[in-house]
Amino acid sequence: MFELHNAHAETEKAEDKNRSSTTGSRRGWGLALDICMVVLMGGILFWGATSQFPNQFNDATRYQCYAVAFWHGTPGLTTLPQKQCAFLSATTSSTLATKLKGRGFPGILVRLVESQSTTQPLHALPPEYPLLTLVPFSLALVVPQQLYQVAYAIWMALAAAGIYFMLRYRSRTAAIAFAVYLMIGSWATAETRFDLLTAGLTLGAVMLAARARWKWAFALLALGTLLKFYPVVLIPPLLIAQHLQTKSRWSSWRQWSGVGVFFAVCAGVTAFSLLLNVADTVSPFRYFFSRPIEVESFPATLVWLGSFVGYPLHYVFTFQSLNVISALSSKISLLSTVLLVAGLLYTFWLQWQRKIDIFMSSLLTILVLISVGKVFSPQYLIWVAPFVAYVGRCHWKWLLSWGIVATLTTIIFPFIFVDLPHIINYYPVVFARDLLMVAIVLVLLYYGSRNKAMVGEEGKSANHGVVEGRA
């Protein structure tokens, strides 16, 4: 009897060992697949980045100008090609000081601005971006200046890999979907811009919020906002999710402590930026609010349609982008604002009614922002790609719909946007892409309104099935 018992125990040990070996083998193959996907993604995106290297005035070369000017002052720009940094003005502080003095501002403020000459190191800030962007811009300065774009692309490849493994926490299919969207839709922009960093921070903020780590979530959201302003629109989804989870009263400090962290981080970094350069600190806000209708945006397509019924349009290059001007511009800008506010409010209402979760709410919030806003650039697809992948994973409807948006975006840039005649001749491609994005938003809002309110974890899982499987 004892011998039979011992034989049975040995058999069970052998089976456990085999199961453990099989599980380890699967994990090993899974990790190998992930590494292959990351290397493939990085290589294809680097290939896309190299298509922009010959252009002396691309985004990465501007970042190099900003970094050199900050660390060495504007005289340090003489080490770079003469025309590369010609767009930078060395008189921002002196011009502002003159205006402040003429309008009777306190002498202490005038003297502070006068002392912030951009000819000195640590005073020239990017006029179109917040201070924190100098961190990624400066990382590529570790190599000889002629290799700056190569080093910058490598840093962004690492950022893309980081987002891939963040999504791998959700599922391998979500991570692979992200890599596919990035390779198709951001081929020439992912490793030549810094939007991957902002996208990673916003994704991290929402993932932390889903785990009820509210202060850390709002801290990451603040860092994202200090790179680009758009993550600020995710404050309502996080606040609503926190309220639904904690059931705190709106008047309680617990409800607002995360927002307090957000504003504390933003205020601290902004105050430090003001000490370095007041003029360049406020400039990104003017840049953000004063931009006209950008040629790739959905409102621009309405201006374009208006040109067929007696409202001619004109193209102007301002704010480092191509924009459109027409007699309809002001009316279409107002319509764009109304649609933006309505879309955001309806998204927040759906989340408040527990019809969508924080991930779908965040996805819709960013989608509404880029779909009907008056400014759209090809790198904006990077903002939304992690959330599309997180929600839709590798479901064929998501891969088909967003894959078409991504493909059209890469056709537009860099292949159509080579000169104005190409843009005019092939503008229907822009119209088709923007119309498809608006259609996707409307479909998601429609399916969201049909969802049943989520109740606990079980309801949450069911709702995930609805948005992933049928939207």
Over range 453-464, report the average pLDDT: 50
Q: Which residues pair with 314 in a beta bridge?
A: 325
| Counts for the chain of helices (H) and strands (E), in that order | 20, 3
Sign, CA dihedral 10-16-18-21, equals: negative
Name the amino acid, one letter, at 331: K
Indicate whether 116 pLDDT > 70.
yes
More confident call, 37 vs 23: 37
The phi, psi pair for 209, rounded to 5°, reads -65, -40
Over range 299-303, report the average pLDDT: 97
Indicate whether 459 pLDDT > 70.
no
Indicate whether 92 pLDDT > 90.
no
The alpha carbon of residue 389 and the mean position of all alpha carbons in its chain are separated, in whole angstroms, by 14
Over range 418-443, report the average pLDDT: 96
pLDDT above 90 coverage of the chain, percent: 76
Lowest mean pLDDT among 49-63, 246-260, 337-351, 423-437: 246-260
What does the alpha-carbon distance between residue 13 and residue 294 come to, in Å, rounded to a whole number? 67
Lowest mean pLDDT among 72-81, 157-166, 425-434: 72-81
pLDDT above 70 coverage of the chain, percent: 91
Indicate whether 9 pLDDT > 70.
no
What does the alpha-carbon distance between residue 163 and residue 147 come to, in Å, rounded to a whole number? 25
Residue 253: band (very low, low, confident or very high) from pLDDT cuts 50, 70, 90: confident
Lowest mean pLDDT among 70-79, 200-209, 462-471: 462-471
More confident call, 67 vs 247: 67
Contact call for residues 366 and 155 (beta carbons, < 8 A): no
Q: In what order do the strands lie in the sheet with 321-326?
A: 293-294, 321-326, 313-318
Q: 380: alpha, beta or left, given left = phi > 0 and alpha = psi -120 to 50?
A: alpha
Residue 247: band (very low, low, confident or very high) from pLDDT cuts 50, 70, 90: confident
227: Cβ contacts below 8 Å, ≥ 6 apart: 129, 130, 132, 133, 136, 194, 197, 198, 201
Residue 237: band (very low, low, confident or very high) from pLDDT cuts 50, 70, 90: very high
Q: Which of 312, 327, 309, 316 is CA-nearest to residue 292?
A: 316
Q: Does the reported pTM lie above 0.85? A: yes
Q: Tell me the two tokens of residue 333.
A: 């800008």
Domain boundaries, the chain: 291-471
Over range 319-323, report the average pLDDT: 88
Residue 248: band (very low, low, confident or very high) from pLDDT cuts 50, 70, 90: confident
